[in-house]
Structure 1
Amino acid sequence: MQNGAIQEFSMVSPISTKTLKTHAEPAIESPQKHTVLLVDDSRVQRRIVRALLARWGYEVIEAATGAEALDICATHPVDIIISDWMMPGMNGLEFCSRFRKLDREGYGYFILLTSKSETEEMVHGLEVGADDFLTKPVNAAELKARLTSGERVLKMESQLNEKNQIITDALTELQGLYDAIDRDLLQARKIQESLVPRNTLSVGRNTVSLFIKPCGHVGGDLVGAFDPNYNRLAFYNIDVSGHGITSALMTARLAGYLSGEFLDHNLAVEKRFEDFYALHKPAHVAESLNQRLLGDNGVGEYFTMAYAIVDLTTGHLSVTQAGHTHPVIQRADGRVEFVGDGGMPVGLLPDVEFENFEVQLQPGDRILFYSDGFTESVCTDGEMLEQEGLEKMLNRAAKLRGHEMLDDLFWMLTEQRGAEPLEDDVSAVLFEYEGV
């Protein structure tokens, strides 16, 4: 027999017949019928403890060795384990350690029976996975208190598992919704990309190049160009307030107002004669868009815009700058000039008078419209790029043409941002004039 084991039923104290009579009151039913695995090489000890457990409403399974107990744990859902520390073969500590490594659905509350009282031994027991200790010989009231404590732990663990399952189910549902939204956004991006059906428009020797890079799935920037009649060309760069789906819906609407594919619906042109379309002045286009937006209930978005029409025979441009960034001209000799006076955004206030300003280009000159995603981009030094930074980038790209130049400007922008993702949509329109 091991240290502390009970040799004869009649010799046990304090959990003897006297102890059992002391606790002979009606059985206390456990609120939830837990299963207790009782592990002890002493049959007498198991008989005594089992009698108490059964009276308290527990289902009891017995094992005489740690190996037998492990086999039971592998096939039965055990809630509480009461195991002797000192057993032949596998002792209680080793059994506890191996029990903790089992693949179980729920937690098992582990109580070690021991005659040891040294702190170091107790710490070692906690380290291998024991939850509580009982000294031998067992006192019924103390055992009941330990079981009550274990039931509280099991109840909290059960409640936590239920809540975790609720959270898991909610996360699974949210993931499904997110995946559906993600698919919709990818489709929305394709639709938005179709709003700019071509990224280059060439009329004679003159070229308009269009560039747009949203910071998310969809963006609030819009670029476009159309040539409704001979030697006349219109192009624009729009930046809608905000980001995301709402702004993207606004760009889709604006693309319909300024469609180059369906000129009959384009409010920037007026049909004259059978197949001739005249271009309205840029300021008139801004005023028309302003009236459209303010006339719609529930629309709180506004946008900035740079819009120009150009006479390809003379290189003369008429431009309106509705709250947009200042257009920049790069002359044939490389000189850079920022032009424009600012102006009010479109869709913000009623009865706004928009202004036109004039620009004269010579063959070899070019003008760039760009969104504030360029100039307000924060570089690795913590400062915004601003006009000075854009001017340096234009000087570096002076020998490049068309889309190659716009791609290079964007590459330089991302280089100066380091690893930081875009915070705003980036868009640009480049018109290169070579004359007729």
Structure 2
Amino acid sequence: MSFGNRLAISAATAAAPAAARRKLVLVVDESRAQRAMLAIHLTRAGYEVAEAESGDTALAFCGARRPDVILSDWVMRGISGPELCQQLRTDREGPYIYFVLLASKDEPADIAFGLESGADDFLTKPASAAELLARLRAGERILRLQDEAHSVYVRLSETLAALRSAQVAMDRDLNEARRLQQGLIGERQARYGDFTVSNLLRSAGHVGGDLTGSFAINARRFGVFAIDVSGHGVAAALLTARLATQFSASVDQNAALFINEYGLYESRSPAVLARYLNHLMLADLRVDTYFTMVYAVVDQISGEVRLVQSGHPHPLIQRADGKIEQVGNGGLPVGVIEGADYEEISFVLAPGDRLLIASDGIWDAADASGRVLGAEGLAAVLQTNRSTKGLGLVEAMVWSVLGYSGGRQTDDISAVLIERGAAPDESVAEAT
């Protein structure tokens, strides 16, 4: 059969499924008689056989149709058997070819050289039909495993491509969710008479479970809240969004607000609000999570602050003279124990004082040795930035925390800063 006819046969059978077609063996040998003998044995064993009289002819054949197995003589004019194997191994496109070298010499050094050239097996001429077919059956098992591995690789590649596509879509959605969550705190800074409220929210991931904000109660009072939902990610963010409605500026949705008998907006006491939210979590929402919170009602005229601390880190007061005070007794998180009681505390912010409510993402930031920032470190940050106010202070605090932790942020970072303006005579003194 001529090389051209063999290519025609190859084209006709190339589309046949690998499991349904016979394995194609390419016999490469200068001796027509040797090729004919091997072809007889292989055909009787059920193989499809093609022949090539040289290494160059074999390479041309492989370029048109890739055989499953090559039986190649070692010594040939032009390209030798090992050289043919080396050239085929450099071409990594297409299915794997099982390569068997045929040689009249069986010295260990020769066998090692042939295998190092990329051959899979080595047969000494003349090889018996039984040994030849046994070696080919072993090669088929290897090819079958190779095909299975390739199929798995293809499926994994397709799955990975689908996952990457899904990840791109998810990242896009999470980035949009992040922007929406940032919008939950409204304006980053709000003014209520002589008071300024500045908010900080920096999630560890795309979205987080922290929330801060403030809202006007009436012409005299305003409310401030800081929330930290347990856990991270989407689940925590969804609960945060649900809780954000409880502190809406609308009296119809804000759980803290009600209209008194005079038709004026008023706020429930912080302790009562904490008890209500605790019941809401356990009886209505029924989620397997909880949150910590600080909610404060601030009187713009007297400077009185009435506050409930529900498992959230302690608020810190920095007085006008720089002195740091820690307030609160801890308290239980919201959504842990039905009927939990919450303590309410009160104090006064004098002109020039400020109150910082920071999440545990700030308090628990750790350095390389594992030492947490804590109250001492946070007080040092306040002292260092004593002359910095508003958003400048909360941003400086972020840089200080990240600098302390070596740039690592393992938890959401949030804070709300309440500052009371200095008295007029103090402002003049500072200006001079």
Alignment TM-score, normalising by the size of structure 2 = 0.90
Counterpart selection for 1:327 from 315, 318, 321 = 315
Query: Which of 400, 403, 406 matches 1:415?
Result: 403
CA gap 1:218/1:163 in 2 versus in 1, 3 angstroms: same
Confirm or deny: 8 A CA contact 2:54 2:76 kept in the other structure. Answer: yes
Which of the residues 101, 105, 108 maps onto 1:119?
108
Q: Distance in 1 between matches of 2:105 and 2:375?
A: 79
Q: Is the 8 A contact 1:208 1:432 kept in 2?
A: yes
The one-character-per-residue Cα deviations of 1:169-216 (angstroms, maximum 9, x if unpaired) are 333333333333333322222221221121001123320000001111
1:428 aligned onto 2:403: no
* Alpha-carbon distance in structure 2 between the residues aligned to 1:333 and 1:85: 94
Counterpart Cα distance in 1 of 2:394 and 2:218:
27
> C-alpha offsets along residues 105-124 of structure 1, whole Å, 9 cap, x if unaligned?
21100000112222222222
Aligned 8 A contact 2:256 2:273 in 1:
yes
Aligned to 1:320, the other structure's residue is in SS state strand
Instruction: Give me the whole-angstrom Cα distance separating, in 2, the residues matched to 1:357 and 1:274.
Output: 27
Provide the residue aligned with 1:268 in structure 2: 256
SS of structure 2 residue aligned to 1:182: helix
Query: Which residue does the alignment assign to 1:235?
Result: 224
Change (3 A) 1:419 1:45: farther
Deviation at 1:425, TM superposition (A): 0.7
Q: CA deviation at 1:103?
A: 4.1
Structure 2's unaligned 5+ residue stretches are 1-18, 424-432
Match of 2:144 in 1: 155
1:337 matched to 2:325: yes
* Contact 1:325/1:342, CA 8 A, preserved across alignment: yes
Give the aligned residue type for 2:421: E
2:87 maps to 98
User: 1:228, 1:263 within 8 Å by CA — same for their partners in 2?
Assistant: no
Indicate which of 67, 76, 88 corresponds to 2:56. 67
1:51/1:174 CA distance change after superposition, 3 Å: same
How many residues align? The count is 405
1:133 aligns to 2:153 (yes or no): no
- 1:164-203 to 2 correspondence within 5 Å? 164-203=153-192
Structure-1 residue corresponding to 2:133: 144
1:291 aligns with 2:317: no
Give the secondary structure class of the aligned counterpart of 2:286. Answer: coil
Q: Deviations over 1:272-321 (max 9, x none)?
A: 36863112211111111112112215322211101111111121111110
Give the Cα separation in 2 of the matches to 1:360 and 1:170: 61
Partner amino acid, structure 2, of 1:335: K
What is aligned with 1:204?
Answer: 193
Q: CA deviation at 1:90?
A: 0.9
Matches within 5 A, 1:246-395: 246-260=235-249, 262-272=250-260, 276-296=264-284, 298-395=286-383
- How big is each residue's C-alpha offset from its partner over 1:380-404, in whole Å with a ceiling of 9 and x where there is no partner? 2222222122122222211111111
Contact 2:365/2:404 (<8 A) preserved: no
The residue matched to 2:306 in structure 1 has which SS? strand
Partner-residue secondary structure (3-state), 2:152: helix
Aligned to 2:23: 34
- In structure 1, what is the equivalent of residue 69 of structure 2? 80
CA deviation after TM superposition for structure 1 residue 329, in Å: 0.8
Equivalent residues of 1:264, 1:271 under 8 A apart: no
Residue 302 of structure 1 aligns with an amino acid whose one-letter code is Y
Which residue identity does 1:430 align to in structure 2? L
For normalisation by structure 1, the TM-score amounts to: 0.89
For 1:242, give the aligned amino acid.
G
What is the alpha-carbon distance in structure 2 between the residues aligned to residue 355 and residue 274 of structure 1?
28
Give yes or no for contact 1:206–1:435 (8 Å, CA) kept in 2.
no
Match of 1:6 in 2: none
Amino acid at match of 2:32: R
Query: Unaligned stretches of 5+ in structure 1?
Result: 1-29
Q: Deviations over 1:45-96 (max 9, x none)?
A: 1111111111111111111111111111111021000111111111111111
Task: Give 3-state SS (helix, strand or coil) of 1:424's partner.
Answer: coil
Q: 1:41, 1:64 within 8 Å by CA — same for their partners in 2?
A: yes
Q: Distance in 1 between matches of 2:87 and 2:106?
A: 23
The letter for the 1-side match of 2:337 is: L
Mapped to 1, the partners of 2:286 and 2:329 lie a distance apart of: 30
Aligned-pair CA distance for 1:434: 1.7
Q: Secondary structure of 2:321's match?
A: coil
1:237 maps to amino acid: A
Structure-1 separation of matches of 2:371 and 2:105: 68
Provide Cα deviations, 1:310-364, integer angstroms capped at 9, x if missing partner: 1111211111101110000111122211111111111111111211111221111
- Mapped to 2, the partners of 1:154 and 1:293 lie a distance apart of 61
Aligned pair partner of 1:221 in 206, 210, 214:
210
Q: Provide the rounded CA distance (Å) in 2 between the counterparts of 1:92 and 1:101.
A: 15
Asked whether the equivalents of residues 315 and 435 of structure 1 are also in contact (C-alpha less than 8 Å), the reply is no
TM-superposed deviation, 1:265: 1.7
Q: Supply the RMSD in Å over aligned alpha carbons.
A: 1.8
- Distance in 2 (CA, whole Å) between partners of 1:151 and 1:231 is 87
